[in-house]
Structure formats: C-alpha cells, structure tokens
A and B are shown apart, each in its own frame.
Chain A
Amino acid sequence: MGNIAFDLAHLLAGGLVLVSFMMLYQDRLYALLNVFALQAVVLSAAVAWQALIQDASHLYVTALIALVFKALVIPGALHRIIQKLGIHREVEQVVGVGTTMLAGMGLVALSITLMLSLTSAADAIAREDLAFALSVVLLGLLMMVTRRNAVSQVVGFMSLENGLILAATGAKGMPLVVEISVAFSVLIAFIVIGVFLFRIRERFDTVDVGALDSFRGEKR
C-alpha cells in the first residue's frame, strides 16, 4: 500500500486545510455552512482512510459521527436557525478577506515549520497529519477572531475541533480516540446551543418592532 496510503492521507488532510481557507473566504452565512459541511465530509473521509490503513475499526465510528453530526445535523440545524431568526445573512468581518488570507498563510507556514522540525522522529503520515491538523486548528481560531457574527464564530470553533480530531486520528495507537471525539462533539453541541440561546435572547432584546416602523417612516 505504502505510497498510495500516504498520498491519499496527504491529499485528504491537505484538502481539510484548503476547505478551512475556503471558509475564511466566504462572505455569506449559508455558503459558510455549506463549506463547513464539506469540511466535515472531508474529515470523515480522512478519518475513514486512517481507519483503513491503521486497521483500527473504532476509527470508523469517529468517521461516522463526523459525517452524521457535522456534515448533516449541525449545518442543517444552523440553517434552520438562521432562517427562523432572520439573522443578517452576510458574514460581518472585522478584518478584510485579503488580510485574513495572508494571516492564514502565515499561520500555515508557521505550523508546518514547527511541526516538521519538532516531530522528526515520528513516521511520515503522522508528521504531515500533525502539521495539517495544527494549521486547521489555527485557521479555526483565526476565523473566530476575525468574525463578529456568532454563527461564524461557532463554525470557526467547530472547524478548530475538526483539526483536533485529525490530529488524534493521525497519531497511531490512541485508544481513547472514539471517546474523545464523542465527548468533544457533545461538548460542541452544548456550546452551540448555549451560544445560540444567548444570542437569541440578545436579538429579541435589541430587535423590536417599533424600530421597523420608524424605519418605514410611519411615525405614530
């Protein structure tokens, strides 16, 4: 298998980084969710491939969880929430796309330099997985820092977590991987719901009908 195993693992992990960049580039919330779902699909493919080459069947569970929860359930739920609440559909950015992208490039370069020089003892797949995983984590953080909107912050956080899962699966012989990933997913779900409850309350506080009326010029 040798070469193909490495090539495909490399391709999928690199794809994950690429999708992270695509998420940074999006300026519409729906598109952002779609890209997030795509990232989850790529992640589950990467994890499943790791399961195959490591002969670790428990990793299939992780892949399945990623696929079901992250690619279908959570994006779907977020979609509905956006629709229901009528949240402004454009991603509000603090920093421009170009600058963010350049910063992202710098982060990727940093994590590659760091990981490749730190882990020179490990085997090839683990090394490059770790380098990519750190990039994905940093890019997720970057996204949380540069976006105002709560939804995009949540998405950023979850993509950060995708990076963690990639790191965990890439390092062989991690028996607790399934548990960790499940625990993380539950945690994420909690955070999502928590943030959203908070945000919704905030929305209903600030958005009142009187403001709409004055906007239309019908002063009573």
Chain B
Amino acid sequence: MLLDVAISCAAFLLLLAVPAVALGSRPFASSLIYALSVIPLAIVAVVGVSALLGVGEMTTAVLPVGLPWLGSHLSLDALSAFFLVVVGLGGAVTGVYAIGYGRHEHEPWRVLPFYPAFLGAMVIVVLADDASTFLLSWEVMSLLSWALVLAHHRESEAQKAAYVYLVMAGFGTMALLLAFGLLAGGEGGYAFEAIRAGKRSPLAATAILALMLIGAGSKAGLAPLHVWLPLAHPAAPSHVSALMSGVMTKVALYGFIRVVFDLLGPLEWWTSPAVILLGSTTAVLGIVYAMMESDIKKALAYSTIENIGVIFAALGLALAFKASGLTAPAALAFSAALFHIFNHMAFKSLLFMGAGAVLNATGRRDLDGLGGLIGRMPVTSFLVLVGVTAISALPPLNGFASEWLVFQSVLKSPELPQIGLQILIPAAGGLLALAAALVAAAFVRIYGVGFLGRPRSEAARQAKEVDRFSLTAMALLAAICVLAGIFPGLVLDTMAPAVHAMLGSQLPLQAEQPWLTLVPITESRSTYNGLLVMVFIAVSASAAAWMVHRLASRRLRRAPAWDCGFPNADPATQYGAGSFAQPVRRVLGTILMRAHEEVKMPPPGDPSPARHTVHTRDLIWEEIYLRIASTVNVIATRMNHLQFLTIRRYLSLVLFSLVSLLLVLALWN
C-alpha cells in the first residue's frame, strides 16, 4: 500500500514533465509546476516516515516495464524509507522555495520540464529493487541534473561545468555497471534478492567496494573524484543547487550503502581503512577549498564535499566495526552517518536557498560584492545564520548532534582487535576535528563577509528582502535544524529501523531516557542533551541581559566606528573574502594548494599602485585530471592516422582483432 503510493507519486512527478513542456513559458507555468511538485514529494516523505514508524507493511512490487525477462522490481524497506524521507522532505521544501524563486528565472522552459522528472527519478532510485531499474533511474537522474546544470547555457562557466559533469557522471555510471556486473556474478541474477543470496570471494567483494567508491563516490563528491561538484552545483539555478547538494548527493550515498552494507555481504576488515581515510581527507580538503573560495555558491559546494567526507568516514567506521562483529559500535557509527545525511540535507539546502535569495536580491555571488545584508534582508540573514550555526557543528543545533555521534564512535575504536585500526581511527578522528574547526572558520568568513559589515557594492546596498515562499521554505528548514538539534533522540529512534535493517542491531531506544538525553552507549560513558543546553543558554543569556538592563545601565549612544583618525573609510577597506582567508591560507594553503603571495611595490616616487596577488593551484585538477586529459589527447592524436587507411587495411584490422579475440577465448578455456 505504502509502496504503491510512493510509486504513483514518482510516476506523477515523471509525468509532470509533459505539462511542463506544454505550458512552456506561460507566466503561471513555473508557479503551477513547482506547486504541483510539492504535493507528491510531501506524500513521499509521509510514506517514508510511516514506513519507518511501522505503519503499514513494507512490500515489494514488480512492474511490467524494463527488461522483458526481469520486469522492474521495486521495494520499500527501512533504508529506502529513510531516504524517501530525505528526498521527499528536501524536494518538497525546495518546491515551496522554487514557487517564489522560479519567477526570476529568465528561461523557465529550460528548467521546468526537467525539475519534476529529476525528483521522480531520485524517488525511483531509492525504491529500485533490481540492478537494471537502479542503474536506469540513476542514469536518468544524472542526465536530468546535467540538463538542469545547462539551464543557464549561455554562461561559459555553465558549459564547462556541464561538460566535466557529463564526463564524470559517465565514468561513475561505468563503475556502477561493472560493480553490478560483479555482484550479479555468472548466473546474472539482477534482482537485489538474487544478488543478496549470492556468494562472492573476498577479492571480488573488495573490487566491488572499490567500484562503488568510484561510482557512488564520484556522484557524492568524494575526493579526488569531486572536481565536477564545485563546478556543476553552483552553475545550476539555486533551487536546483539546493537539490543537487542537499538531496542528490544523498541518493548517491544511498547507492553506496545499499550495495556495500546490504547486497555485498561480509567484507574483510582491511578494506575499511581506505574508506575511513578517503572520507577524512576528503573532509579536510573540501573545507580548505571552501575557505579559499570567494564565490558563495562554490564555497557551499566545497562544503558539501566536506560533509560527504564526514559521512563516508562514519560509514567506514561502521564497516570496520561490522567486519569485526562489533554490532553495537557499528550501529552507532552508522546512525551517525544517517543522522548526518539527514542534517546535511536540511542545512545545506537552507544555505543554498539563502545564497539564491542573495543572488536574486543583489545579482551577485562573489562575497567581495556583498556585505551588510543583515540590515537589508533581516529574515533571510537570520535564517541563514541558523543554517551557518548548524553546519558549523555548534550546539545545540543538529550539525553538532551528528558530529558528536561520529566522535563517539571514533572513541569506540579500542574495542577493535586490529592494532592498525586502533591507531588509524583516532588519527582520522583528528582529521575530522581539524575539518570541524575549519568549517567554523569558513562559515564565519562566508557569513561575516557576505551578510555582516558594510555593503561593498551598490547592488548590496539596494538589496531587498525576498518573497514569502522563499522565506517560508528557508524557515521550514531552519526549524528542522533546530528541532533535530534539540530532539536528536527522536530522530535517531525514527531512523533506528533503517540501521537495524542494515546491521541487525541498533542504538538503545533514546525516547526512554530522562529529559530526552542522547545516550548512545551508557550513561556513564557519554551523554548529551541538546534541549537542556538550549534551555540553559537561552535562560542564562536572557537572565543576564535582563539583569544588566534592569540593575546596571540601559543607555545607548550611536557613534561612528573607531577609524584610527581616518574618517569615511571606503567599504573596500573592510576585511574581505581574501583577507579573511589569509591566515588559514598561510598555514594550510601553502601545503595543500601551493598558495603563495606576491607583493609588487612601486619604487619610491612612482605613483602607480602597489599590487598584492595571491596564487593558488588546484593540485588535484592539475596533477591528475589535466594529465589524464593530455594523455588522452596524445593517444587520440596518435590514433588519428587510423582515419586515413585503405579499405583493405581496415578489413585486415577487423580480421586481426577478431582472430586475437578468438585466440584469447581459446586460451581462456
């Protein structure tokens, strides 16, 4: 019953593309399509929650589409239900935002047909129960998002982004194809049920894990396969950016979890360090790049990479514990990962919506053209502040709760029997701590330069508050951030069936704890109570303010800021994006990005301005991707003369390859 509802919602979304094409550029089309997309997604989210709560049974269905001998298997289990909540909630709120935001789109017909179908494809990916349906819907999701990235196709940046994205998505899908090929084995059972029952050697399992890291990891943004993400996510319209960063990366994670935790069966313990280390280095790299980036949407995209890194590290921890049969710590790490997936959906979508609101109000994305928005767009600024606080993992908001669980699972590492892991996991925890501290710095920079201070451009000075729909959507997400932060136990209890389905164990029930405290293991070991922290801070802050105003003084005088005797300083003299990043750039950027500064001072007497230039290099892009590209280029040039052969030679080439293939076959048997 629940499954049927979800499937019809997905079908509705896919079919919504048709009227979207038909309506085209009519003025009401955008509002109508977005509004219509909200309803099925909200239903999908409700379906997910009720499946998790055990209302209605979880079922499977076979639709007579797809491969003729297989049909299209779809099923709803606890893991799918959790991700349905993520997709449905994220998609529905984004739809509300888009009702307002979409009006500003110059060419709505380039967005509207793809948008609902993209969401529908994501719902199908989550519901898929056989390899062909999964891969097909995955590819549809990729292509539709690619089309959305190309919505502003006249900008050269978007063209480059779309090209890189297409290449990387194709590469990732190829890895997924190979992974499912290995999973299905010689018998070719492509239904998940058959794959689950199959047995595979440790070597094959490791190969599948590696292929999943490439396939799903590239879609989620795992370093060094992340390069397309900071290009493509910001190039799309902002509500699509929110979907891609907040929801689509989660669907990619779903693919990884489904295969590695559910279908693959047991893995050797020595495979987990790769996942943990990849995750934690991705986290640090992503946030260092975010710290250096002055385009607000690009910085947010890099921060997505950081969060994906944290989630992969937690999943790696879960793998390590699971391989040694420690189900309780594995459940802890896995719950932390799922919780962070949910949280990241909320705050990253919120922040991208905020960036979109700023883009609408000022037409600018570069931090150095913004500033002073807190006075001009007060509601947006407040809601973005909530998002910024949440993503910086500050208590009592939700980002901290999941980060705290990750650290708690790091601290369970002594129970592992392998000394290598015991040493490696705290070191990886150190990397995660470094990333967490850098996140706070990066978001002080984004908020401090973008929203505080004095406006740095005329556009920022003229900024106006955005429409109600956008504000409502952002307020909803901000409320989720706060509620999930102060009631983390309820969220964890709700998602517990998903954890149980994957690992066979789950966290102790949190709802029974007094005062809704979070107690992942035992009370004497570690506890955290977001609600009480929130109450204590609120009460003591307001009590202090009240006492001070009542008993001491409440007088206030406005005066110019201290200017060192140089009045009317230009707003450009404020700390900007580049100057705020300077200390961190000097400390970490010199190592990770080969950053160096160049100061050109004119000789005395020369009135020309002094220049200060910062050079940074994207080492991953230059050292890996450009090299591969140039190698491909060289090979292509060499192969060029194959185009100018005689027919006889072509035929001999064909014969030669046929014979060698047959020889290989003969030798193989």
Contacts and interface: CB of A to CB of B under 8 A. Distances in A.
Interface residues of A, number: 9
A116 interface: yes
Interface string B571-609: 000000000000000000001000000000000000000
B423 A99 contact: no
A113 B424 CA distance: 10
Interface string A173-199: 000000000000000000000000000
B591 A116 contact: no
A16 B424 CA distance: 23
A135 B420 CA distance: 15
B416 to A, nearest CB: 13
A113 B591 contact: no
Interface string A136-171: 000000000000000000000000000000000000
A117 interface: yes
Given A112-B419, A113-B420, A116-B419, 11 more contacts: A96-B591, A98-B591, A99-B591, A105-B427, A109-B423, A109-B424, A109-B427, A112-B423, A113-B419, A113-B423, A117-B419
Nearest to A116: B419
Interface residues of B, number: 6
Nearest to A108: B423
Contacts of B424: 109
Contacts of A113: 419-420, 423
Nearest to A98: B591
B595 to A, nearest CB: 14
A109 B342 CA distance: 35
A116 B418 CA distance: 11
Interface of B: 419-420, 423-424, 427, 591
B491 to A, nearest CB: 36
Contacts of A105: 427
User: Of A98, A113, A116, A117, which is in contact with the most chain B CB atoms at under 10 Å from its CB?
Assistant: A113
Interface of A: 96, 98-99, 105, 109, 112-113, 116-117
A220 to B, nearest CB: 31
Q: Which 6 residue pairs are nearest across A and B when measured between Cβ atoms? A: A109-B423, A113-B420, A113-B419, A116-B419, A117-B419, A113-B423
A120 to B, nearest CB: 10
A101 to B, nearest CB: 12
A94 B206 CA distance: 39
12 contacts: A96-B591, A98-B591, A99-B591, A105-B427, A109-B423, A109-B424, A112-B419, A112-B423, A113-B420, A113-B423, A116-B419, A117-B419
A125 B284 CA distance: 38
A41 B591 CA distance: 36
A48 B563 CA distance: 65
Nearest to B421: A113
Contacts of A96: 591
A117 B73 CA distance: 48
A113 B427 CA distance: 14
Nearest to A99: B591
Contacts of B419: 112-113, 116-117
A99 B424 CA distance: 18
Contacts of A98: 591
Contacts of B423: 109, 112-113
A132 B417 CA distance: 21
A117 B427 CA distance: 19
B619 to A, nearest CB: 15
A131 B423 CA distance: 14
Nearest to B424: A109
A216 B146 CA distance: 66
A170 B420 CA distance: 24
A116 B424 CA distance: 15
